[in-house]
Amino acid sequence: MHTSVDPSFMSRRFDFNEALTKESLIRCYRASPELFARKGNDESFGLKTPKKEKFVKRDSKAQPPVEAPYVPPKSQRTTKPISDKTIEIFEGMTVVELAKRTGKSISTLQGILTNVGEKVGTEFDPLSMEVVELIAMEVGINIKRLHSNEGSEILPRPPVVTVMGHVDHGKTSLLDALRQTSVAAKEAGGITQHLGAFVVGMTSGASITFLDTPGHAAFSAMRARGAAVTDIVVLVVAADDGVMPQTLEAMAHAKAANVPIVVAINKCDKPAANPERIRIQLASEGLMLEDMGGDVQVVEVSAMKKTGLDNLEEALLLQAEIMDLKARIDGPAHAYVVEARLDKGKGPLVTAIVKGGTLLCGQYVVVGSEWGRIRAIRDMAEKLVEKARPAMPIEIEGLKGLPRAGDDIIVVESEERARMLSAGRKKKFEKDRLIKIVEERASEEQDKKLSVGSKNKFEKDRHMKIIDERAEAQQPETSEEEPKRVEVPIIVKADVQGTVQAVTDALLNLNSPQIMLHRVIYHLLEDIGNFIVDKAPGTPETKVAGEAEVLSIFELKGRSKSKGPDVKIAGCRVIDGFVTKSGILRLLRSGEVVFEGSCESLKREKQDVDTVKKGNECGLVIHNYDDFRVGDMVQCLEQVIRKPKFVSSESGAARIEC
């Protein structure tokens, strides 16, 4: 059955309900029973009756105030802090997966894709790792690349061994003995100045890639990079010297990188050699040696006599066999920069070690924030090769700029992609650098304000009183001034990038942001340290120049108006240092400071003098003070400029003490 409804009737019903809803808030009126009978029909047309809210009576009683300690508001950060969040990315990652890891919406990530010029498909389309890295940089999140071995050819590879230890313990000499070369003779000052990579062919037919890292304390960062790309660490300790600071530092780097250690006790041919003492020292430092129930192998060698080298070779190959070292052979290469230098004819040259995949000549690569196309690949014998496989140290040519040691090498598919990723990394690097500078300056300003605000009120009042007294006496004022800064522009030049960074770190460790041509870093630090001490403005401070004891008190009475009022003179003997008329005099009684003021008169044998030295007697008058007593002590204070001192140790470490 079809039922029709009069439109005018419906209009009247809607108008009535609308009026009911509005008017019910301010007044009540009587409704007919027929209206409520039609309630079901109203709801069928989409109309709902307003629900009644439950009335809750509020407590009108006044609550007592809650006593709580005052908490000052936190200082607002003026800059956005550098993000410390790191996510793992991989080839073929989708927008959905990236959104989950970054915590950003899919639409936000798709908008970034459009801004970087990438084609936006569905949220399930795979993305390349460089595109994912660009997106992560835009949202301010750090990334870690994961390289999948699925579907790739996995084969055994040679181990990468890093040689570490204290300076002059024979690391380079040990490598020379293994490869029958003489690198140490070519090194300035007899020490290794930069990190090098070499392939050593063993008598057993196996090959091992060695990293020779410097032992000087200033090259800590370089040894840390070596431990990051290595499989095994050879810790060299001299049998006639023992465990030294850089030995412990090398152990810390290896443990931080979770790399197994093989100990080589060198110089066992010397008369003063004591290998057992070295074992005890290493064990006391927490190294679990194999001789004492641990898993760390110990080999006694002599680089000069070429003894024990076979045992070291067996230990390294055994450790590599236990680790079952394998790597992906095919696919894009993943490598690390060991060293970088600028050649006048070839341009930027990068020494690298391939960790996985195969690096081919002609590929576009992004190295840190630099990019380029590989023009040539050379092995350690400087022979041109077409490709490089895992654990192979090589030198590549063709980058547009000089990267930093420790940067990773990434293969990209096109020049456009390489340019885009390089520009994005440079932008992020510069942004993080500026943020760090702003945060450091803000921290310095905050510390300065706190330091000024925390001064003792008594000290402030005392200094103000002395200043007023000096103004009355019309004497020159020598108030404390803030330390001055002298900025000296320094240019550091070296043959390789890692050495530049190491020298810069060493200079920063001198506790002063303050640098000449040097071939050995010992001489560099010494000369620069003395240079800083000479150029530093120093710190103004007040020190006690001398002390005098009050032996008697004299009083001059009946003086004329032209000569001034009556005066009390303290007869003193200088017992330490000297007393000057231009200094500030501090009167002490029973060890307590009674008064401080300027010297109004200083005489010796009735003659006005400027200085009275130790052992002599004098008469002095302190401005606006005459309550002297026998036995009082008078200290003479003077303003001096304290210069910093350059301090060096036998291990090569250097610092500046302010």
CATH code of the domain covering residue 623? 2.40.30.10
Answer yes or no: is 22 within a domain.
no
pLDDT computed for residue 578 by the predictor: 92
CATH number of the domain enclosing 103: 1.10.1660
269 and 360 share a domain? no
On whether the CB atoms of residues 538 and 485 are closer than 8 A, the answer is no
Q: What are phi and psi of 108, to 5 degrees?
A: -65, -45
pLDDT computed for residue 72 by the predictor: 47
Angle between helices 129-138 and 106-115 (to 10 degrees): 110
What domain range is 624 assigned to? Answer: 540-642
Residue owning tokens 């303290």: 570
pLDDT computed for residue 85 by the predictor: 77
292 and 171 share a domain? yes
269 and 164 share a domain? yes
Distance in angstroms (rounded) separating the CA atoms of residues 297 and 320:
12
Beta strands in 202-357 (DSSP E): 207-212, 232-238, 261-266, 297-300, 326-328, 334-343, 347-356
269 and 185 share a domain? yes
pLDDT computed for residue 651 by the predictor: 55
258 and 334 share a domain? no
320 and 341 share a domain? no
Q: Ramachandran region of residue 556, left (φ > 0), alpha (ψ -120 to 50) or beta?
A: beta
3-state secondary structure 335-354: EEEEEEEEECCCEEEEEEEE
Distance in angstroms (rounded) separating the CA atoms of residues 289 and 298:
7
134 and 160 share a domain? no
Distance in angstroms (rounded) separating the CA atoms of residues 216 and 529:
17
218 and 334 share a domain? no
Residue owning tokens 């109203």: 42
Residue ranges of the chain with per-residue pLDDT less than 70: 1-84, 148-151, 180-196, 202-203, 213-228, 447-488, 497-498, 502, 505-506, 508-514, 516-522, 558-565, 649-653, 658
Distance in angstroms (rounded) separating the CA atoms of residues 244 and 473:
61
The model's pLDDT over 284-319, given as tens digits with 9 standing for 90+, comes to: 988 889 888 888 999 999 988 888 888 898 899 899
268 and 166 share a domain? yes
183 and 314 share a domain? yes
The model's pLDDT over 488-545, given as tens digits with 9 standing for 90+, comes to: 677 777 777 667 776 776 676 665 554 766 666 667 777 778 777 777 777 788 889 9
pLDDT computed for residue 398 by the predictor: 93
Number of domains in the chain: 4
